[in-house]
Amino acid sequence: MSNLTQIKEVFDKLRQGAYITHEQGSLHTALAENYDGYRDYFAPLGLNLVRHTRDFFYFQTEAAEATPPSQALPPIAVFCFILIESTANEGRPVEEYLLTERFSVAGLPHLNSDRYKAHLKAVGVDDEASLRKLVKSMVRLGWVEYFNDDTFRFLRPFHRMFDKCEEISMAAEQEKRSVLRTTSR
pTM for this predicted structure: 0.68
For the ranges 7-11, 20-24, 50-54, the lowest mean pLDDT is seen at 20-24
Is residue 146 over pLDDT 80? yes
Q: Residue 10 has what pLDDT?
A: 93
Listed in order, the ranges of the chain carrying CATH 1.10.10.2250 are 7-66
- HEC string of the chain equals CCCCCCHHHHHHHHHCCCCECHHHCHHHHHHHHCHHHHHHHHHHHCCEEEECCCCCEEEECHHHHHCCCCCCHHHHHHHHHHHHHHHHHCCCCHHHHHHHCEEECCCCHHHCCHHHHHHHHHCCCCCHHHHHHHHHHHHHHCCEEECCCCEEEECHHHHHHHHHHHHHHHHHHHHHHHHHHHHCC
Higher pLDDT, 58 or 66: 58
Higher pLDDT, 42 or 73: 42
* Alpha-carbon radius of gyration of the chain: 19
Is residue 72 over pLDDT 80? no
* pLDDT tens track for 73-130: 789 888 988 998 899 899 999 888 988 999 999 999 999 999 999 999 999 999 999 9
In CATH, the architecture of 7-66 is Orthogonal Bundle (1.10)
Q: Residue 169 has what pLDDT?
A: 65
Is residue 184 over pLDDT 90? no
Residue 160's nearest CA partner among 60, 39, 52 is 52
Instruction: Compute the distance between CA of residue 163 and CA of residue 167 in angstroms, rounded to an integer.
Output: 6
pLDDT class of 32 with cuts at 50, 70, 90: very high
Residue 74's nearest CA partner among 124, 25, 145 is 124
Overall average pLDDT of the 58-73 stretch: 62
Higher pLDDT, 1 or 10: 10
The CATH code of the domain at 75-175 is 1.10.10
Q: Residue 2 has what pLDDT?
A: 57
